[in-house]
Amino acid sequence: MFDPSQMMIIVGVLLALVLFGTHIAVALGITSALGIYLMQEDIEVVRSFISNTAYEGIRDYIFAVIPLFILMGEFLAKSGAARDLFNLVNRLTKWLPGRLGVATVLANAVFAFVSGVSIAAAATFSRIAYPEMKRFGYNRQFSLACIAGSACLGMLIPPSVLMIVWGVLTEQSIGSLFMAGVVPGMVVVVVYSAYIIGTAILRPEIVGERKVPLATLTANPGVSHEDEGLGETLFGTLLVVALVCGVLGGIWFGFFTPTEGAGVGAVAALGIALIRGMRLREIFDVILSAGRSSAPLLLLLVMAQLYSRVLSMTGITGAVQAALLDTGLPPIAILGIMILIWFVLGCIIDSISIILLTVPVFAPVAASLGYDPLAFAIIGILAIETGLLTPPFGILVFTVKAALPQENVSVGEIFRGSVPFWICLLAVIGAIIAFPQLATWLPNLGKV
């Protein structure tokens, strides 16, 4: 039975723990245990409830999809696949204004199909794309913003870790979520590219035109990667594309589940890494890195499931749903409130934590308002993604800065340059709200 005092205590304790810097998994665990104790007043019930939830969560094979996809991305990132992607796209876009910026976006889009996380893309392309942009006289702020902004694609284009977490929490098909992210991801690519090309046309000095003498470009030809063998670059890129098509196509057409697809992808990525000359020590380092990245996520998911159950038991989910629906506001206004909350939280905590805190409450509200679950998921992930570029804790901005210590660039400079990319994400959110078919068309096509 719903008790307002219990709700206030549970929510208040959780917010206090998060604001005081407690790890989100610990905060969720403490809050959940407190909620169970307030309802049952028996510590043995608390212990039994937590242990049963943890056991049921850990034995669920769907959780294996996270470390396997992270492992696949790590193998490809360390084997030089990202460099091949950038080199090939760079060669194919020589005729475009602002081609290096567009190449960064397009290469990030393809790399997102195998990475699953944005941080890896930000660090990788900071070391690959930025030196090339610097060589051709691109404005530093614009260059770094292109890298940080395009790295967001890793959280939207499958196999996104955010989609996996969202699917686990809402019990939605992860395969359908993956398919739902493809078209919106391509829309983001188009909008980003249009901004970069428009900037290059209107302000050519930003992309080095009319600014860098030919002598400067030819003074140190060894810096450029354009002269690397086309055959090797094309071969490496085709391997990545074949892997993407095999894994996502297999999931989409039902040949295997997302977890099985992740396993196939990890083994295939290992094969590609071996072909590219990866050594045993490097393979061990990749496996260790994937373990370090995925273990905290698995703990978070177990605690999130516990937290979600407690919310349902205490009636908090129903109370918030009733409170929002009883306001009399139209559905679009309630959706706007949820998006605004995501924007604000994005300035304070990380993306996965935002999903864990809000989705168990927001998803039922959106369903009762008549929003398609897949479209709402993509809207939510896009809104949460904006936090990757917003101060004071925009993780992609700090990743780009950390990857280029020699540049002595301030985070404020990258944040300012990232504003147009933040606006682009906002525009795509508006487009999906107006046309939810952008997210639902591809998953529904697979059901026909």
Instruction: Kindly state the average pLDDT of the residues 261-279.
Output: 87
Least confidently predicted of 55-59, 64-68, 99-103: 55-59
CB 198 within 8 A of CB 268: no
pLDDT at 377: 95
pLDDT at 174: 86
pLDDT at 87: 81
Instruction: Kindly state the average pLDDT of the residues 55-67.
Output: 71
Q: DSSP letters of 358-427? A: HHHHHHHHHHHTT--HHHHHHHHHHHHHGGGSSSS--HHHHHHHHH-GGG---HHHHHHHHHHHHHHHHH
Share of the chain above pLDDT 70, in %: 90
Q: 207: which DSSP letter?
A: G
Q: DSSP letters of 115-167? A: H--HHHHHHHHHHHHHHHHHHTT--HHHHHHHHHHHHGGGGTSSS-HHHHHHH
Which residue do the tokens 């892997």 mark?
Answer: 243
pLDDT at 62: 65
CB 90 within 8 A of CB 100: yes
Q: Is the pLDDT of residue 425 over 90?
A: yes
Q: How confident is the model at residue 60 (pLDDT cuts 50, 70, 90)?
A: low
- For residues 126 and 132, give the distance between their C-alpha atoms in angstroms, rounded to a whole number: 10
- For residues 248 and 178, give the distance between their C-alpha atoms in angstroms, rounded to a whole number: 8
pLDDT at 181: 92
Rg of the chain (C-alpha set): 23
Q: Is the pLDDT of residue 243 over 90?
A: no
Share of the chain above pLDDT 90, in %: 19
pLDDT in tens, 5-47: 777 787 788 878 877 777 777 888 888 888 888 887 788 888 8
Q: Which two tokens stand for residue 264?
A: 């196939």
Q: CA nearest 366: which of 336, 335, 392, 337?
A: 335
pLDDT at 432: 95
Say how many C-beta atoms besides its own lie within 10 A of residue 81's C-beta: 27
pLDDT at 214: 42
Q: CA nearest 235: which of 45, 83, 128, 22?
A: 83
pLDDT at 141: 92
Domain boundaries, the chain: 4-445
Q: Is the pLDDT of residue 371 over 70?
A: yes
Q: Average pLDDT over the chain, rounded to whole?
A: 82
Q: How confident is the model at residue 446 (pLDDT cuts 50, 70, 90)?
A: low
Q: Is the pLDDT of residue 89 over 70?
A: yes
Q: Is the pLDDT of residue 228 over 70?
A: no
Instruction: Kindly state the average pLDDT of the residues 281-290.
Output: 86
pLDDT at 9: 81
pLDDT in tens, 158-217: 888 889 889 888 888 888 898 999 999 999 999 999 999 999 999 988 887 655 444 444
